[in-house]
């Protein structure tokens, strides 16, 4: 549910993003959840969940669990709080999330920076802006994974990390 703030003409809304294993075998591996909002209408305030590392970038949230283990029927959740601007004519807001990395370069960089940090690699701030340390760490990681060590964040790197592209999965929405 959303709570109105009449003075600010906004709504504070909370969502639980839940990943469930509906298969017959355990899932073990990295998992990324991406949630993007209408630019200028919604801003992420906070996101957290047991075992999840979340990064907020204004109108998007990206959360990674570097080693998620889900038995059949089990689930894991991320709680997401957002602020939605009020609409003078009324209306509704739809929130959609997907498993996987979006095609946004900043979001992809944040995912890789988070993964590197979880691996114990010092790359500086997780900010979606790959600097010298991030590019050097990416090149080292690419070499370790048997990829061409370009230092660039690309689909082969994300795939080797076990992070699917969000376009490959279904989005789940609530209004």
Give me the mean pLDDT over the 2-17 stretch: 89
pLDDT at 2: 87
- Residue 88: pLDDT above 80? no
Average pLDDT over residues 90-96: 76
CA–CA separation, 163 vs 134, rounded Å? 18
| Residue 42 pLDDT | 85
Q: Taking 70 as the threshold, does the pLDDT of residue 166 lie above it?
A: no
Burial class (CB in 10 A: 0-12, 13-18, 19+), 97: buried
**pLDDT bucket at 95, cuts 50 / 70 / 90:** confident
Given a cut of 80, is residue 175 above it in pLDDT? no
pLDDT at 78: 93
pLDDT value, residue 73: 96
What tens digit of pLDDT does each residue of 105-163 get? 888 888 899 889 888 899 988 888 899 999 999 999 999 989 999 999 998 998 888 77
- Which pLDDT score is estimated for 153? 93
Quick check: helix, strand or coil at residue 24? coil
Q: What are phi and psi of 25, to 5 degrees?
A: -125, 160
| Euclidean distance between CA atoms 153 and 134, whole angstroms | 10
DSSP secondary structure letter of residue 101: B
Which whole number is the average pLDDT over 157-171? 75
For residue 25, what is the DSSP state?
Answer: S
b/e per residue 32-71 (b: at least 16 CB within 10 A): bbbbbbeeeebbbeebebeebbbbbbebbbbbbbbebebe
pLDDT, residue 71, reads: 95
Helices 105-118 and 132-144: angle between axes, nearest 10 degrees: 70
pLDDT tens digits, one per residue of 26-39: 988 778 888 877 77
Strand segments, DSSP code E, in the chain are 2-5, 10-20, 27-36, 42-48, 53-56, 60-70, 75-85, 95-99, 171-174
Residue 169 reports pLDDT greater than 70: no
């Amino acid at each position: 549910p959303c709570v109105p703030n009449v003075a600010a003409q906004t709504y504070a809304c909370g969502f639980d993003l839940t990943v469930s294993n509906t298969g017959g075998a355990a899932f073990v591996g990295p998992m990324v959840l991406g949630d993007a909002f209408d630019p200028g209408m919604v801003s992420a305030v906070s996101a957290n969940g047991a075992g999840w590392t979340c990064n907020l970038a204004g109108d998007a949230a990206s959360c990674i669990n570097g080693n998620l283990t889900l038995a059949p029927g089990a689930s894991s959740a991320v709680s997401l709080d957002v602020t939605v601007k009020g609409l003078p004519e009324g209306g509704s807001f739809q929130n959609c999330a997907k498993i996987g990395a979006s095609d946004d370069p900043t979001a992809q960089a944040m995912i890789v920076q988070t993964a590197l940090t979880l691996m114990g690699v010092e790359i500086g701030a997780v900010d979606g802006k790959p600097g010298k340390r991030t590019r050097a760490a990416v090149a080292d990681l690419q070499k370790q994974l048997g990829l061409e060590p370009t230092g660039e964040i690309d689909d082969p790197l994300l795939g080797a990390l076990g992070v699917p592209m969000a376009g490959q999965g279904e989005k789940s929405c609530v209004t």
